[in-house]
Structure 1
Amino acid sequence: MDRLAKIRSEEKKYHDHCYDTCNLFEPGSWLYKPVATVINLVDQYKEQEYLSVLDLGAGIGRNSIPIAKSLKHRNGQVVCVDLLESAIDKLKSYSQEFGVEPYIIPRLSDIEQFIIEQQEYDLIIAVSALEHVRSQQVLSSKLSEMNAGTRQHGANCIIIASNIREVNLEREQELEPMFEVNLTTEGMLELLDEKYAGWEVQQRFVKHLAYEISRNGERVKLTSDCITYVAKKSQSY
């Protein structure tokens, strides 16, 4: 199995297990509530009559379902892209359960294969997703595509890991991180600044994360820098 296939396999195992054992919006996992940065950004557009949103790596709807709820009193759509069938199946089920099915458009697709039409979206969200495209070159191209796909006055919200390390806790052994793209924090910020030059950068900060995960039944410590980057396509752009 090559490196990419191995990473995708591990990613699928981790998420399938999480989606099977944890319910959306129930305490006890990262699925408990949406990302505050995403919801706060959506609130900036609450007066807009129609809102078109793209959620890359939407999973089972942690962010897209709350966004869709905000569309009930106006109009709009949330296009939800995910690679995993398990995620898309549960997204459809949860969108029915929470009464937002008319606003959710599920798309089973690899992020890099999903074509972002130009000037199509007011908001593009990518939470813990873009580090899973196959290479730095693909990441750069996808960011350019996101840029072109955003309407005037629209915004992009990116939350992405950098400086990722995995250590087997039993053997105290450094492992190869199961992430396709693993840039230094400085390199990732430089890339984002380059792609969003001329935009109004509303948030740009780094938070160090450390938590325990399981890899093939063994305890692994995963550490990373979590970059939050929110940029708006300003009038002067």
Structure 2
Amino acid sequence: MDRIANIRSEEKKYHDDCYDTYDLFEPGSWLHRPVATVISLLEEYKEREYLSVLDLGSGIGRNSMPIAESLKYRDGKVVCVDLLESAIDKLNSYSKEFGVEQYIVARLSDIEQFNIEADEYDIIVAVSSLEHVSSEQALERKLQEMNAGTKRNGANCIIIASNIREVNLAQEEELDPMFEVNLTTARMFELLDQQYAGWEVEQRFVKPLEYEISRKGEPVRLTSDCITFVAKKS
């Protein structure tokens, strides 16, 4: 199995297991609550009568559900793109449970292959998803597409990992991280700054993260720099 296929197989196992174990917004996992940065950005657009949002790597709706709920008092759509059937199935189920199915447009697709139409979205969200495109060149192309797909005065909210390391805790052995794109933090910022030159950058910071995950049934320490980058197309 080639490296990309192996990574996607491992990620599928990890996410399927998480979605089976935890309900959306249930305490105990990262599904517990939406990302605060996304919710605060949404607040900036509360006066919009129609809001068009794209959630790349939406999962089961951690961020999409609260965005869709904000549309109950106006109109709009949340296009949710995910590679995993399990995620899209549960997303559709939760959209009914939360009474927002009319605002959710679910798309089963690799985000790299998903075509972002020009000038289509007020907000594009990509939380922990862009590091799973196939290469640095693919990441660059996707950022260009996101840029072109954003309406004037629209915004992009990107949360992405860099400097990723995985260490097997039993053997203290360094592993090949299960992420397709693993750039240095400096290079990732350089790429973002290039692609969003001319935009108004609202947030641009990095936070080190460390947590324990399971790979092939063994405990692994995952460390990364978590970059938050929010920019508005002025």
Q: TM-score, normalised by structure 2?
A: 1.00
Aligned match of 2:80: 80
Deviation at residue 103 of structure 1 after TM alignment: 0.3
Once the two structures are superposed, residues 36-93 of structure 1 have per-residue CA deviations (whole angstroms, 9 ceiling, x without a partner) of 0000001100000000000000000000000000000000000000000000000000
Deviation at residue 110 of structure 1 after TM alignment: 0.2
Deviation at residue 131 of structure 1 after TM alignment: 0.1
Query: C-alpha separation between the residues in 2 aligned to 1:198 and 1:126?
Result: 20
Query: C-alpha separation between the residues in 1 aligned to 2:184 and 2:58?
Result: 25
Q: Give the alignment of 1:82-231 within 5 angstroms.
A: 82-231=82-231
Aligned match of 1:61: 61
Aligned residues between the structures? 234
Deviation at residue 137 of structure 1 after TM alignment: 0.2
Q: What's the Cα RMSD here? A: 0.3
Query: C-alpha separation between the residues in 2 aligned to 1:174 and 1:26?
Result: 32
- In the alignment, structure 1 residue 36 sits paired with structure 2 residue 36: yes
Query: C-alpha separation between the residues in 2 aligned to 1:130 and 1:215?
Result: 21
Supply the AA of the counterpart residue of 1:220. V
- In the alignment, structure 1 residue 48 sits paired with structure 2 residue 48: yes
Supply the AA of the counterpart residue of 2:183. L
Query: C-alpha separation between the residues in 2 aligned to 1:24 and 1:143?
Result: 28
SS of alignment partner, residue 94 of structure 1: helix
Query: C-alpha separation between the residues in 1 aligned to 2:215 and 2:48?
Result: 44
Query: C-alpha separation between the residues in 2 aligned to 1:5 and 1:114?
Result: 18
SS of alignment partner, residue 41 of structure 1: helix
Supply the AA of the counterpart residue of 2:92. K
Deviation at residue 139 of structure 1 after TM alignment: 0.1
Query: C-alpha separation between the residues in 1 aligned to 2:36 and 2:221?
Result: 25
SS of alignment partner, residue 29 of structure 1: coil
SS of alignment partner, residue 154 of structure 1: strand
Q: TM-score, normalised by structure 1?
A: 0.99
SS of alignment partner, residue 70 of structure 1: helix
Moved over 6 A (4+): none
Q: Extract unaligned runs of 5+ from structure 2.
A: none
SS of alignment partner, residue 112 of structure 1: coil
Query: C-alpha separation between the residues in 2 aligned to 1:69 and 1:17?
Result: 27
Deviation at residue 227 of structure 1 after TM alignment: 0.1
SS of alignment partner, residue 72 of structure 2: coil
